[in-house]
Amino acid sequence: MTGIKIVTIGGGSSYTPELIEGFIQRYDELPVRELWLVDIPEGKEKLETVGALAKRMVKKAGVPIDIHLSLDRKEALPGADFVTTQIRVGLLEARAKDEEIPLKYGVIGQETNGPGGLLKGLRTIPVILDICKDIEQLCPDAWLINFSNPAGMVTEAVLRYSNITKTVGLCNVPIGMHMGVAELLDVEADRVHIDFAGLNHMVYGLEVYLDGEIVTNKVLDLLSSGAGMTMKNIVDLGWEKEFIKALNVLPCPYHRYYYQTSKMLEQEQEDLKEKGTRAKVVQQLESELFDLYSDPNLAIKPPQLEERGGAYYSDAACRLIHSIYNDKRDIQPVNVKNNGAITGIPADSAVEVNCIITKEGPKPINVGELPVAVRGLVQQIKSFERVAAEAAVTGDYHQALLAMTINPLVPSDTVAKEILDEMLEVHKKDLPQFFASSV
Ligand code: G6P
C-alpha cells in the first residue's frame, strides 16, 4: 500500500488541528494515507469534535487523507508507520495541582520543571511504556514520536525501559527559539542556524549563525536589551544584561525558572491570586477553542490556537516525519539517545541536540564538552531525570524522594518530602505503581 499511516494517541487534544494543518501543507512530499486519532473514553466528546474538524479541514484542502477516530489503540496501531503521542494523564485537573501545590511551599509550580515536572513524569511514563508494548506487538517497525511532557524524561524512560529503539522526543522550544532569534535579528528564519545542545526544556543555543556567520554576541545583546524571547506559557521578565554576557550562550525560555527563580516565583504567586494557575488559563482557552471547533462551518486551524504555549509544534513534527520518510539528511534539534554526542551525559540517556535526520532516524551531531557555564546544571537535571524515570517505572518511594530532593528548584530535603507526600496523595488515582497494595 502506498502512503503513510499515522496514529496519534491523545488525538482529541486541542492541538490536533495544528498537526492536521501541517500534514495538509506537506501532502505533496509527505503523502499521509490514513491518520488515526485515538483517545480514551473520557476524551470521547473532544475526540469527536476535533475529528469532525479534521475531516472538514482535509476535505476543504482537497487532500485524500483518511481520518479515523478510535477509542481503542489496539485497533488503530496495526500497520502504523509513525505513532505520535500527545497525552495528558490526569487531564488539566492534575496539571492544576502540579502547578499549585509547590507554591504553598514557596517552590516553583510548573508543568514540566521542579516538583510538577516530576509528578507529571511519574504519571505519564507508565502509560507511555504500555503504549510501547503495544507498538512492539502490533507495529514493530513504526517510529514513536513523543510530544507528551515532560518529553525529556519520557524519552529517557522509553530509551532505557522499553524495547523500542525507533523513538524520538519532540518539543517546540527549539523551533520557537529559532523563530524568536530570526525576529530579534529581523531576518527570515531560514537565514538563521543555531547549534542546539542540552536537554528538553533545558536546551541552549551554543552558537548562533546568520548566513553562516557567527552572530551569537549580537543575539545575546539583543536578547537582554529588549523583549527576552519567550513562549506563550512563560512570562518574559527580561534578562540581566551582564549575566547573559557572562553565560555566553543562548538560554531557552524555561531557563528563567533556574536563573530567575525568586522573580518567577513571585510572579507565579501573583498570577495565582489574579487569574489562577496556567492550567486554569488553559482550561478557559480550551473551552473557547472547542466552541470554535464545534462550528460546522470552521474548516481551518483557528488562529486562537497560537495562544497556547505549544504553538507550532506541528511544524517540528511534520518536518521530522517528512525528513525520516524522505531520508532528507537535514539538521533538526530533537531528543534522542546521547551515544557520546555530549560528553559527561550517560551514553544511554536522552539529550536534546541537533541531529542529521535520516531514514534510519536522527544521528546526533557531536558536541563534546558543554561550556563550563552550563555543564553542571545540565548534568544535575539529567541525574534528576534518570532517578525520576526509575521511580516512575518501579514505584519506589525513595527514588521519588531522591529525585524531588536533587531537583535544583527544591530547597531542602524536608521541603522535598513534604511536597512529595502531598503530591503523591493527591495524584493517587494516576499513580498505581506507588499504591499497589491499597488500590
Ligand atoms: C511550551 C512547551 C510545551 C508545552 C507548552 C504548554 O511551549 O514547549 O512542551 O506543552 O508550552 O503550553 P500551554 O498552553 O499548555 O501552557
233 lines ligand 1 (CB under 6 A): yes
Residue-wise pLDDT tens digits, 137-166 = 999 999 999 999 999 999 999 999 999 999
310 lines ligand 1 (CB under 6 A): yes
How close is the Cα of 316 to the center of ligand 1, in Å? Answer: 14
Residue-wise pLDDT tens digits, 100-118 = 999 999 999 999 999 999 9
308 lines ligand 1 (CB under 6 A): yes
**Residue 296 preceded by cis peptide, ω within 30:** no
Left (φ > 0), alpha (ψ -120 to 50) or beta: where does 229 sit?
Answer: left
CA 103, CA 97: separation in Å to the nearest integer?
A: 10
- Contact criterion met (CB below 8 Å) for 155 and 169: yes
> Kind and range of the H or E element at 33?
strand 32-38
pLDDT for residue 37:
98
311 lines ligand 1 (CB under 6 A): no
How close is the Cα of 233 to the center of ligand 1, in Å? Answer: 6
How many residues are given for the chain? 439
Pocket perturbation via mutation, ligand 1, pick of 173, 177, 233 by most ligand atoms within 8 A of CB: 233
Report if residue 152 sits inside a domain: yes
Pocket perturbation via mutation, ligand 1, pick of 177, 308, 312, 352 by most ligand atoms within 8 A of CB: 308
- Hey, which residues does 408 pair with through a beta bridge? none
Report if residue 14 sits inside a domain: yes
Which atom of ligand 1 is closest in space to residue 147's alpha carbon?
9
Report if residue 315 sits inside a domain: no
Residue-wise pLDDT tens digits, 12-42 = 999 999 999 999 999 999 999 999 999 999 9
Report if residue 78 sits inside a domain: yes
Of the chain, the percentage scoring pLDDT greater than 90 comes to: 92
- Look at 308 and 418; give whichever has higher pLDDT: 418
* Whole-structure pTM value: 0.96
Mean pLDDT for the stretch of residues 288-301: 95
Which atom of ligand 1 is closest in space to residue 176's alpha carbon?
7
Report if residue 235 sits inside a domain: no
Residue-wise pLDDT tens digits, 264-290 = 999 999 999 999 999 999 999 999 999
How close is the Cα of 90 to the center of ligand 1, in Å? Answer: 16
Averaged pLDDT score across all residues of the chain: 96
Residue-wise pLDDT tens digits, 376-414 = 999 999 999 999 999 999 999 999 999 999 999 999 999
According to DSSP, residue 212 is labeled T
405 lines ligand 1 (CB under 6 A): no
Question: Distance of CA 287 to CAs 18, 19, 51, 135, Å?
Answer: 17, 19, 16, 32
Domain count for the chain:
1
Residue 439: pLDDT band (50, 70, 90) is: very low
How close is the Cα of 436 to the center of ligand 1, in Å? Answer: 31
231 lines ligand 1 (CB under 6 A): yes
Report if residue 260 sits inside a domain: no
Q: Which amino acid is at 203?
A: V
CATH number at residue 37: 3.40.50.720
Please give the residue range of the domain that contains residue 9.
4-169
pLDDT for residue 9:
98
280 lines ligand 1 (CB under 6 A): no
pLDDT above 70 for 237: yes
Q: Whose CA is nearest to atom 10 of ligand 1?
A: 310
- Contact criterion met (CB below 8 Å) for 282 and 305: no
- Dihedral angle over CA of 209, 213, 219, 222, nearest 10: -140
Report if residue 436 sits inside a domain: no
Hey, which residues are catalytic here? Answer: 254
pLDDT for residue 437:
65
- Dihedral angle over CA of 413, 415, 417, 420, nearest 10: -130
C-alpha cell at 231: 513562549
- Dihedral angle over CA of 354, 359, 360, 361, nearest 10: 30
Report if residue 26 sits inside a domain: yes
